[in-house]
Amino acid sequence: MTNKIDREFAGKFLGSAEDFYAYGVHLLFNDWWERAPEDAIAKYVEAIETHPEQGPLAAEAWYADPLSLEHLREYPEGTLGHAYLRFMVDNGLAEKLATGYRELHESIEAEGRLDRLPPVLKYKVLRGYQTHDLHHVLTGFPATPLGELGLQAFELAQTPFPYAAMWVSVVTAHMTFVDPYLITPAMDAISQGWAYGRRARSLQFVKFETMLGKDLVDVRRAYELDVDGIHAIETPSPRTPELLAA
């Protein structure tokens, strides 16, 4: 068990825990693969490939065609497509429809830093980028720091995966050693997201882009998503955690 956590990576983890806006989890995630323990990687792969629903979907390695605001505007109110449009526009995320994490990922890959990233986990990363905001819409988690934390806990409950796990570990390290005001709201978001993800049907790798014309209520019902069960996830006041006020 000696040095299972690379000490150089540990320094980057601490930097992210101190300020996860200055050094984001997406960067930390890419840093980990060069020296990640082989047995840990194998366990993450096994968790997906042996899952009765996720395994077959992941094996297809299906990607959605790029979406546009013009395309989403075709869907009537009440549909998943319309709700997705409203989420992206209302939260100032519309430009994300035209940009991709794939380019950043491939540039890092070209440097050889992701040589040890297995294909199924690479697919999980890239497909997750496509579906992340759709998962916000479906689950009801808001586009806020605590809403993001809740969604990451939801995703982690459905699939053991280092990106979501790093989100939780970075935030819990920050609340422990930097800002105790964050402990209660962060743990509320994490525990709520975890329980929600455990009771819902798996959303991982599902082709929701083919369901944009369906009634949002029907899609949520099919995947056992109880949006009304989410308690308000808001930045607390007056003792506002410093990073959640950004």
239 occurs within a structural domain: yes
Classified as helix, coil or strand, 215 is strand
Q: pLDDT digits over 34-72, tens only?
A: 889 999 999 999 999 999 999 999 999 999 988 999 999
144 occurs within a structural domain: yes
For residue 227, give Cα distances in angstroms to 41, 200, 205, 215, 232: 33, 11, 20, 15, 11
114 occurs within a structural domain: yes
2 occurs within a structural domain: no
Q: For residue 215, what are the β-bridge partners?
A: 79
Residues 6+ positions from 137 with CB-CB distance below 8 Å = 80, 83, 84, 87, 216
Q: Which helix (H) or strand (E) covers residue 119, if one does? A: helix 119-139
Classified as helix, coil or strand, 100 is coil
Q: For residue 79, what are the β-bridge partners?
A: 215
23 occurs within a structural domain: yes
Distance CA 202, CA 189 (A): 19
Please, which pLDDT band fits residue 116 given cuts at 50, 70 and 90? confident
Write down the pLDDT at residue 228: 85
Write down the pLDDT at residue 102: 61
With beta carbons less than 8 A apart as the criterion, state whether 12 and 28 touch: yes
Residue 241 has pLDDT above 80, yes or no: yes
Distance CA 85, CA 77 (A): 10
Number of domains in the chain: 1
For residue 14, give its domain range.
7-245
Q: pLDDT digits over 89-105, tens only?
A: 999 988 777 555 566 56
Write down the pLDDT at residue 2: 65
Please, which pLDDT band fits residue 188 given cuts at 50, 70 and 90? very high
With beta carbons less than 8 A apart as the criterion, state whether 72 and 212 touch: yes
108 occurs within a structural domain: yes
With beta carbons less than 8 A apart as the criterion, state whether 30 and 116 touch: no
Q: What are phi and psi of 20, to 5 degrees?
A: -80, 0
Write down the pLDDT at residue 108: 64
| 214, amino acid identity | K
1 occurs within a structural domain: no
Classified as helix, coil or strand, 124 is helix
| 105, amino acid identity | H
Q: pLDDT digits over 189-237, tens only?
A: 999 999 999 999 999 999 999 999 999 999 999 999 999 878 767 778 7
Q: Which residue has the tokens 């506002």?
A: 240
Q: For residue 211, what are the β-bridge partners?
A: none
